[in-house]
Amino acid sequence: MALRLGDTVPNFTQASTHGDIDFYQWAGDSWVVLFSHPADFTPVCTTELGTVAKLKPEFDKRNVKAIALSVDDVESHKGWVGDIEETQSTTLNYPILADADRKVADLYDMIHPNANAAVTVRSVFVIDPNKKLRLSFTYPPSTGRNFDELLRVIDSLQLTDNYSVATPADWKDGEDVVIVPSLKDPEVLKEKFPKGYEEIKPYLRMTPQPNK
C-alpha cells in the first residue's frame, strides 16, 4: 500500500555502500531524504547523486541525512560510485542502499508496474525525526530531480513545524510568510508576531519570517 503524508515509514535493514544499515538506527534524530533510482550506471541518476553529494553542507545545516537506493547489488554500486565521483567531480559522502531483493522498494511502493515492473521509479521521500513521511515526489525517468526545490520544502517544513505560519507560493527562506487562519486573538497575534503583519484579507495575513 502506498505511503501517505503523516504515515510512520517502515523500518528495514539492508546492505549498502556503507555496510548494513538499520534505517531507524541510522536515521537517529535527523531528517532524512531517501531517493530511489531505477538502476546503476544510468545517466540522469549519475548527475543527481553527484548533486546531492555537493549539497551535503546544506543538508547538514538542516539536520538532514541523505540516502539513495538502487535495485543493483553493493559491488555494482561501488563501481558506479567511481563513475559518479569521476564525472561529477565530487566524493560520494552518503550511502546507496542495495535493493536487489526489492524489499525496500516494496515497503515504500517504489515499483510502479505501469511504468516499469522491473525497476524502481525515481521517488523522493522526506522523513522527519519522528519517522513520519512529510513529503514525497515521483519523477519520470527523463527528468532530473530539482534538489533546490527539495531544500526549499525542507526549509518550509522545519519553519512551519515551529511557528504558526505557512509558506506562500514560490516562497524562499527569508521571505514573508502567511499566518495560519486559526490564529485570531489580537493579543496572541501581537505576542507571536512582534514584527507585525499585513492583513490583505481576514484569512490572508503576511508577516516577516519569524526566525529571521
pLDDT digits (tens, 9 = 90+) for 83-134: 999 999 999 999 999 998 889 988 998 875 445 544 556 799 999 999 999 9
Structure-block grid coordinates of residue 142: 527523463
Residue 153 Cα distances to 9, 112, 149, 160, 166, angstroms: 19, 25, 6, 10, 11
Instruction: Enumerate residues 6+ apart whose C-beta is below 8 A from 78.
Output: 17
- The domain segmentation of the chain, as residue ranges, is 13-144, 163-207
pTM of the model: 0.92
150: pLDDT confidence band, cut at 50, 70 and 90?
Answer: very high
7 is catalytic: no
Query: Read out DSSP for 31-59?
Result: EEEEEEESSSS-HHHHHHHHHHHHTHHHH
| 171 has a pLDDT exceeding 80 | yes
Q: Tell me, what's the pLDDT at 121?
A: 62
- Euclidean distance between the first and the last CA atom of the chain, given in angstroms as a whole number: 40
The CATH number, out of the four listed (1.20.120.1200, 3.30.1360.120, 3.40.30.10, 3.40.50.40), of the domain defined by the range 13-144: 3.40.30.10
Which candidate in 45, 64, 71, 151 is catalytic?
45
Q: Tell me, what's the pLDDT at 113?
A: 47
Q: What is the pLDDT of residues 175-195, one digit of tens each?
A: 999 999 999 999 999 999 999
2: pLDDT confidence band, cut at 50, 70 and 90?
Answer: confident
